[in-house]
Structure 1
Amino acid sequence: MPKEKRFPYVAGMNRLAALVAAASLLLPAAPAHASTDGERLVSNQAELNAAIGTAGTIVMADGTWQDTVIDLRAPGPLTLRAQTPGKVLLTGRSALSLNSPDLTVSGLTFTSGQAPDGAGSVISFNSDRGRVTDTAVIDFNPGDPATPYYWVFFKGGHNRFDHGLLKGKAHQEPLVGNDRGPAATYNRVDHTRFADVPNLRRNGMEALRIWGYGQWAEEGAEEGAYFTIDNNLFEHVDGDDEIISLKSNHNTVRNNTIRQSSGGLVLRYGNYNTVESNAIIGDRYPASEGIRVSGDHHVVRGNYVQGVSGYGLKVTSGEHLFDENNQLDYLTPDFVPQPNPRTPHGYLFHYGQVTDSAFTGNVFTGNAKSDIHIGWFYKNHWPGYQMVLLPERNTFTGNLSHRPEGGVAVTTSVQDTAPPLAKFSFQPNAFRGNVVYGGTLDVNPPNSTEGIKVVPSRDWTPPAPPRTEETGPSWQAG
């Protein structure tokens, strides 16, 4: 049998291939799911932790992520997203925190679980310029309703939570909160749907509670939280009588819709806030309210309040605390002041007097109680509280009141001029171009009815309410 003929070139190539194959066994394996475009697909907590800080974009694989705590921090911008929006389910004791600037998270769903023990919130913005979008927290409740944590909380500044769904919160603390610290400024919540929050008869279950400069009666005019709440939808949000609670200066609440919810839109503490182009549709839902205002230099314009079971607009009386030397002024021995060491003079009023604010172009229709009540809460809890400072120097311009069932449209509280209150006098509020259809007036000094036109006919069609843009995650059904 003839001997096989060997070709030196082919033999050399075979030896080279063998050497390359052997050498490859000594090299470290490439990371699982790595791609050449900077994205990394991860499928468990260990892979996720390894990818944080090393990949530009992390993609969480679809499926259930049990007991997953996502601690995001990176030396530069980082994106974390669901493989399919809405299909990454964080269950058990899971949470997300953004702990360095310029982080973006999208497409996650927290459900069938609760925040880890000791966690203050499910989603935490602990740094600046973060964004969480297209994300939901649904029924993420502890076994004990008294267990307190937020679902979204802002400690840093210039952050945004948008196109979210926050549904079914049934435990202590608001859904969304802003920190008291000076870093928590210029944050925003927008295009988010809030839904199905039961009334557990517990205080402190607002949809949004915005703390910041101004909460403790600080006297600076420029400082504030500068929080923006816009284009959100609230449906059956019944946890607190303050659905949106502003407790700071310089916030904006714009183009939101509150529908069939117990409570109202409340400026509780702080000054220089703007509330505009919101629609509150009560449909006589139990305990539904319109807008309540305390403090000074606010702008309330272009809002629409329909069919609430309470008042359309409550402009509160303020509490008298101090004399001209900032010493406590006891009008009676039974006064019980509210001490607070954070305030400039050691005590905090229950409600701030409303002054120098503008109420313009608001529409009220079909509400059960007065559409505008100026001086609400006057002498409430007297003499323990000294709620005796009537609103003054405010302007009411171009507001429309429609009373299809009649009743009082505009009410101003009657001042008690007997001692010890005889020393107080107030400037009038100004009314210009306001119209009442089918209602009556109960306006008392120092105010007058000049600038309020009463049309007896109830046959008037109010304009359509402002419309909120599309809310909620892109992937939500319905």
Structure 2
Amino acid sequence: MRSRIRTALLTALVAATVGSALVAVPSLATEAQTTPPQGAAQPYSAAERFDWGEPLPGPSDEFNYGSPDEPAVPDQSKWSLAGGGVDQCWPGHNENGQRCDKNTRVHGDVLRMVGEANGDSGWLAARSGRQYGRWEARVRSKNTGEPNGREYHPLLIIWPDSDERQQDGEYDYLENGAPGEDCAEAFIHYPHPGTEEIQQEHAEETDCGAALSEWHNVAFEWTPDHVAGFVDGKEWFRYSGGENDVRRCIQCMPSGHQTIQLDNFYGDDLTPATYELDWYREYPAPASPEAEAPSQALGRTINVGNSGELDDALADAQAGDQIVLADGEYEIGGMSDKHGTAEQPIAVVAKNRGKAVISAGQLEVENSSYVTFDGLTWTNSDTLKLTSSNNVRLTRNHFRLTEEESLKWVIIGGENSHHNRIDHNLFEEKRQLGNFITIDGSETQQSQYDRIDNNHFRDIGPRAENEMEAIRVGQSEISESSGHTVIEHNLFENCDGDPEIVSVKSNDNIVRYNTFRTSQGTLSQRHGNRGEFYGNFFLGGGKAGTGGIRIYGQDHKIYNNYFEGLTGTGYDAALQLDGGDVDTSGSLDSHFRVYRASVVHNTFVDNVSNIEIGANYEHPPVDSVMAGNVVAGSQGKLFNELKAPVKHTYAGNIAWPTGSAAVGVDVPAEAIGVVDPLLTKDGSLYRIGEHSPAIDAGAGEYEFVTDDMDGQARVNVADVGADERSTADITRRPLTPADVGPDAP
């Protein structure tokens, strides 16, 4: 969405754009894509004018249900609702008003969003995301009250599936500052790391025709080469490239989905408004196999109501199928050699989220690709397996399996497994050994490039000695392979089953932006090298045995993490750079010595044991760096060298011992300065205050530290600790149950 600082800043940014991005009127676009057939009438739809083919039936919606007398909830097999469900709400844009499901209804041939004077409005998001494609909607918007200068913004957006709008980009291909304006506007955001203020292009329609209070067909095309916008079949912007030293190319979003928004930028006392869609259609990307094969592009919607019909649908599944499960209980079987595509996955989806229950059987998706399971409840007693498959997605499911003995709930493994995603699920109430999620692989290689994000993990325990992690990535036997797994934006609550809440046992993985609340144990790099752990919140709440991060191995990066109220020591300390029982070689199930760990810009507040070095085993860490950390506490040693590290560097840290606490090591002030960092409680966290000595006091430059725990850019010399004092918008914060799981945004 656009910055609150609107016209002047945007104009300046567009004028200063560096790179190859171009604004193109239709005459500048390629003839093959913008010239209608000779002699044809000028249609008012981009899809018709440029022969985009048939719309994809799964995500497209003609809104031909409901009625003016009995408005209908939007089809939940296609759309995610505001607030996460029927009649629910969540905060609006920048906490202004609320986005409420009740404000978006289908009234018989039209979808209507209502913006109220009190600031509450509508919102809708497509349940399917992808990289590249074409989108078109017939829209109009208008004020229904006297304009007062506080007007709603109607938008059509391709929003990144990651929810990281700076990192991955955002395409607001229709965004106006008020309903019914004369000309369309668009704001197309570059993917960039968040270190720059704004990186975007602003387009304004010039040949406008009727005002936007009248019906118009607004379309967007996204390919590997460009992004382009259309109004009533006429191209009005096109951008390509534009990458430079602070941003990636404008068309380089990894994947995204449609959102429809009527946004509140002001709070309350808004001009009431409506935003309407006559229809919404998605199309394959140009030059894709689907665009060239209409028989495949049509897809099918297959409604099933019992286990036999479900088995038949899975056995006969093909690209583009939408297998919709009616409310009820099902026994499920396997699925082998079934292949969707990026633009036409095979989707197995609950008609009403959570009400199609898998109560028996075992699902194994084997040697398959581009298959999605969406909105189901799983109470069966067998492991869900993704075997030798890729691009399989488990999204917005509720897992509460029935356990009588040790059971792993979800396993990803097999040869040639890669790019699978587990997101927006709830995993809860695990009482037997086994993991919620296990990522294995072949005999020699872990599954690669899998992603676990936006899930809610809660209530696993009681504590076992081993084999009860919430997530295990890799295993000892294949720990020398690289996983490239990303675990991000998850909430862990009362995950008490194992000394390791998350156990990483391979190379080259990332664990970031997660929140661990009152969970016993640690995030552990048990085996493997080159792990990255950043932007995580560890909140112990004083609960016994709560810990932070523990590492073994080489070249790990630990930064921008926040640790508070943790009570664990030893294995469960807030941070444990542990000793090794072997140096650089030994049995693969050994604890390998730590080399070259970078522990920078973290904040520790009121933990029983903050930073420990070498608590266990004989070989202490070597060549590691601790720099720019804030450590404040009232007991024990803030820096506790249980074994003296070798060639260890302290630089620019701040220690503030109170009560019975001590710094714990005798080093110069430039290594660890003993000074009050002036931490102040801001909401649920302690941040550095206005006159803190931590401001602009970081020692050294670490190119991987580009922002802070809040997602605010590090500017000039970085502040000490996880927090950069800034007035920029906070884009990341400790997660709550409303932020994750099946009903989250």
TM range, smaller chain: 0.7 to 0.9
Q: Which residue of 1 aligns with 2:300?
A: 38
The match for 1:361 is: 601
Counterpart CA distance in 2 for 1:199 and 1:224 is 32
- Give the partner amino acid of 1:257: T
Task: Give the Å deviation of 1:59.
Answer: 2.8
Residue 395 of structure 2, aligned match among 127, 130, 133: 133
Give the CA deviation at 1:456: 6.2
- Is the CA contact 1:299–1:357 (under 8 Å) kept in the aligned structure 2? yes
TM-score by length of 2: 0.48
Contact 1:231–1:257, Cα closer than 8 Å, also in 2: yes
The separation in 2 between residues aligned to 1:130 and 1:232, in whole angstroms, is 19
Quote the residue 2:457 is aligned against.
Answer: 194
The secondary structure found in structure 2 opposite 1:58 is strand
Q: Which stretch shows the higher mean deviation, 349-358 or 262-271?
A: 349-358
2:347 is matched with: 79
Partner residue of 1:437 out of 656, 674, 677: 656
Which residue does 2:425 correspond to in 1?
A: 164
Match of 1:413 in 2: 642
Maintained 8 Å contact 1:443/1:449: no
Correspondence for 1:451 among 662, 671, 675: 671
- Deviations 1:210-260 (CA, angstroms, capped at 9, x unpaired): 116x86664xxxx51111100000001111010010011000000000001
> Given the alignment, which residue of 337, 353, 358 partners 1:90?
358
% identical equivalent positions: 26
Partner of 1:48: 310
Match in the other structure for 1:203: 466
- What is aligned with 1:401? 631
Matches within 5 A, 1:235-246: 235-246=493-504
Classify 1:283/1:65 alpha carbon distance in 2 versus 1 (closer, same or farther; 3 Å).
Answer: same
Question: Which of 687, 703, 720 does residue 463 from structure 1 map onto?
Answer: 687
Could you tell me how far 1:95 is from its partner in structure 2? Answer: 3.1
Q: CA deviation at 1:101?
A: 1.2
SS at match of 1:102: strand
The structural deviation recorded for 1:287 is 1.1
**2:56 paired residue number:** none
In structure 2, give the amino acid aligned to 1:312: A
Aligned letter for 1:149?
Answer: K
**Residue 189 (structure 2) aligns with:** none
Aligned counterparts of 1:246 and 1:457: Cα–Cα separation in 2: 33
Letter in 2 for 1:368: V
1-structure distance, mates of 2:439, 2:368: 18
Distance 2:496 2:455 in 1: 17
Q: Distance in 1 between matches of 2:599 and 2:744?
A: 39
- Contact 1:431/1:449, CA 8 A, preserved across alignment: no
TM-score when normalising by structure 1: 0.74
Q: CA deviation at 1:152?
A: 4.1
- Quickly say closer, same or farther: Cα 1:414–1:272, change in 2 above 3 A: closer
Deviation track 1:123-169 (CA, whole Å, cap 9, x = no partner) reads 4354011111111111x1322x3x33333434411100100111111
CA distance in 1, matches of 2:424, 2:590: 35
**Distance in 1 between residues matched to 2:615 and 2:439, nearest whole Å:** 28
Q: Distance in 2 between matches of 1:75 and 1:305?
A: 44
- Matched with 2:148 is none
Match of 1:10 in 2: none
Which segments of 5 or more consecutive residues in structure 1 lack a partner in the other structure?
Answer: 1-35, 116-120, 323-344, 378-386, 416-425
Moved more, 84-93 or 162-171: 84-93
Q: CA deviation at 1:45?
A: 2.6
Asked if the contact 1:286–1:309 (Cα under 8 Å) also holds between the matched residues in 2, the reply is yes
How far the C-alpha of 1:392 sits from its partner, in A, is: 1.6
8 Å Cα contact 1:186-1:228 kept in structure 2:
yes
The equivalent residue for 1:265 is: 523
What value does the CA root-mean-square deviation take over the aligned residues? 2.6
Counterpart amino acid of residue 302 in structure 1: N
Equivalent residue letter for 1:160:
R
Correspondence list, 1:287-436, <5 A:
287-310=545-568, 311-320=573-582, 347-348=587-588, 350-369=590-609, 371-377=610-616, 387-403=617-633, 405-414=634-643, 427-436=646-655
- What's the offset of the Cα at 1:349? 6.1
Return the alpha-carbon distance in structure 2 between the equivalents of residues 89 and 414 of structure 1: 53
Is the Cα contact below 8 Å between 1:215 and 1:247 reproduced in 2?
A: no
- Within the candidate set 58, 69, 83, 2:333 is matched to 69
CA displacement, residues 2-59 of structure 1 (integer Å, 9 cap, x when unaligned): xxxxxxxxxxxxxxxxxxxxxxxxxxxxxxxxxx861110122322233233453233
Aligned position for 1:9: none
Question: Are 1:321 and 1:349, in contact at CA under 8 Å, matched by a contact in 2?
Answer: no
SS in 2 for 1:46: helix
CA contact (8 A) 2:410 2:436 kept: yes
Instruction: Give the conservation status (yes or no) of the 8 Å contact 2:413–2:446.
Output: no
Q: Which amino acid in 2 is paired with 1:411?
A: N
- The farther-off stretch of 154-163 and 266-275 is 154-163
Rounded to whole Å, the distance in 1 between the matches of 2:655 and 2:450 is 38
Distance 1:195 1:388 in 2: 35
Residue 25 of structure 2 corresponds to: none
On the 8 A contact 2:656/2:677 being kept in 1, the answer is yes
Give yes or no for contact 1:135–1:163 (8 Å, CA) kept in 2: yes
Aligned mates of 1:184, 1:124 — CA distance in 2: 10
Aligned residue runs from structure 1 range 212-231, under 5 A: 218=480, 223-231=481-489
What is the SS of the residue equivalent to 1:114? coil
Measured in 2, the distance between the counterparts of 1:307 and 1:50 equals 53
Per the alignment, residue 742 of structure 2 pairs with: 473
Name the aligned partner's letter for residue 373 of structure 1. Answer: E
SS in 1 for 2:663: strand
Residue by residue, what CA displacement relative to the aligned partner does 1:377-435 show, whole Å, maximum 9, x if unpaired? 1xxxxxxxxx32111211111100111x24310011245xxxxxxxxxx7321111100
In the superposition, relative to structure 1, how do residues 134 and 250 fare at CA in structure 2: closer, same or farther (>3 Å)?
same
* Alignment: residue pair count: 382
Contact 1:256-1:277 at 8 Å conserved across structures? yes
Residues 270 and 293 of structure 1, relative CA distance in 2, 3 Å threshold: same
**Which has the higher Rg, Structure 1 or Structure 2?**
1
